[in-house]
Amino acid sequence: MRAVIVDGPHRIRVETRPDPALPGPDGAIVAVTAAGICGSDLHFYEGEIPVPGSVALGHEAIGTVVEAGPHVRTVRVGDRVMVSSVAGCGACPGCATRDPVTCSAGLQIFGSGVLGGAQADLLAVPAADFQLLKIPPEISTEQAVLLTDNLATGWAAARRADIPFGGTVAVIGLGAVGLCALRSALAQGAATVFAVDRVTGRRERAAAWGATPIPSPAAESIIDATGGRGADAVIDAVGTDASMTDALNAVRTAGTVSVVGLHGLQPFPLPALPCLLRSITLRFTTAPVQRTWPELIPLLTSGRLDVDGIFTTGLPLDEAAEGYAIAGSRCGEQVKILLTP
C-alpha cells in the first residue's frame, strides 16, 4: 500500500509499505477513501515535534471496511465508515463513557508513530466497534472527515468554554478547528463571536459566516468592543504562548478559556496570580470524538450546523507533498486539504 511519510522538516513523501495485518479479533482493516491534513500534522511537517526516523502521517480518515475480525459486531465488510482520530481500548470503564481520552490503557492517536497513519491506502483499526461508525447516507464525505477530528474538537472546545446563551465568544485561530469552533459556538447559543486571526482572508471567511473579524493580537480590541468587560468565553485553536496570553487577557473576570490548539514542548509561562485573582477557568481538551457523534450527526443532517467551505482543496494521495505545502502556507484562500487515495 501507499502511505504518506514524514522523515524531517518539510520532507514529505509517499512510500510503498506492506499492507497492515488485522489488529486482533476485534479489529478491522479500512480501505481509505478520503483523509484530511490536520493542523496537528503540520507540527510534524514543520519540525516542531521531533520525528524519530520516519512517521506515517494522518489521523482523519473515512473509508470502506475490507476486513473485520470475528469479534466485530457493529460494522461489516463493505460498510462506509468514519474512524475516530483518538483511539481507546473500547472495553474499559473510561471507554464506556464514549471518551477515548479516559481509556484506562491510555489514549492513542492514529498517525503519531504508534498506530498507523490514515493518509494511506489501508488503515488497521483496533477495537473497531469503538473506533468506527457507519456513515449515515445523509452525511457527505467532507462532513464525515470533519467528524473524525476537527468538528468534534471544535464542538468540544465550545462545550467546555461555558458559553452562556446570548453570550460573547472569541475564537483565536481560524484554521479548520477554529472555524468548526466558531460554527459550534453559534449553534450552542453565542450571540456574538469575535473571529481572531492574523490572516485577512481567514477573517473575511469567518465574517461571511456571521462573526466579527478582529486581527491578532485581539485582547485590546475585544475589551473595547465589550465595554471594558471582555468576552464571556475564549476558544484558543492555536495553542502558542502568544495566543494563550491573548486569550487570558481577552476573557472577562470569571470567564472561561478553552484551549484546543496544540502547544509546543516548552512550558507555557502561566500568569497564575492574575488568573487566580480574576477567577479564570482554563481548560485544555483532547476531543472525546466518539461521544460527540450522537450530538453532531443530527445537527448536520438537519441543517442546524453547517460546515460547508472548510475544505478548500482536494488532491490525490500521490500529491501529498503539495498538499502539505499548501496547508503550511496558512494563506487566506486555503483552509483544509482533502487527500483521496
State pLDDT tens for residues 158-190.
999 999 999 999 999 999 999 999 999 999 999
Q: CA 212, CA 204: separation in Å to the nearest integer?
A: 9
Q: What is the mean pLDDT of the chain?
A: 96
Q: Which three cell numbers stand for residue 176?
A: 479548520
The amino acid at residue 37 is: I
**pLDDT of res. 264:** 84
The residue extents of the domains of the chain are 2-149+288-339, 153-284
Stated pTM of the model: 0.96
Architecture of domain 153-284: 3-Layer(aba) Sandwich (3.40)
Name the band, by pLDDT with cuts 50, 70 and 90, for residue 121. very high
Q: How far apart are the first and last CA of the chain?
A: 10
CA distance 22 to 73: 15
pLDDT at 211 over 90: yes
Angle between helices 150-159 and 289-302 (to 10 degrees): 100
Whether 204 contacts 332, CB under 8 Å: yes
- Region 283-307: what's the mean pLDDT? 97
Asked if the model's pLDDT at residue 279 lies above 90, the reply is: yes
Q: For the domain bounded by 2-149+288-339, which CATH number is listed?
A: 3.90.180.10
